[in-house]
Amino acid sequence: MLDGVKAWVPYAYDAFEEHNMYATSISRKGMEVIRKIIYGKKIDQETSGMSKREWDELMASLKL
């Protein structure tokens, strides 16, 4: 079905692929961690307020 959509409306398919198929959803806590990382602040799982599972998922999505 996606092949038909891609052939019919390639720009819409590209947008769907970029923003839906390969997108990552990040929680509020995750965004706070990302902001701290961007600003060069040291943060680890214990100080992030995230569970180990949440932390590991975030780090995997950031490839850190």
Percent of the chain with pLDDT over 90: 81
Query: Which residue has better confidence, 50 or 25?
Result: 50
Chain length of the chain: 64
What pLDDT, on the 0 to 100 scale, is given for residue 18?
92
C-alpha 26/C-alpha 54 separation (Å) is 10
Residues 24-29 have a mean pLDDT of 91
Q: Which residue has the tokens 């850190």?
A: 64
| 22 against 35, higher pLDDT | 35
Residue 24's pLDDT is 83
Per-residue pLDDT at 22: 85
Angle between helices 28-38 and 52-62 (to 10 degrees): 50
Q: What is the mean pLDDT of residues 50-54?
A: 96
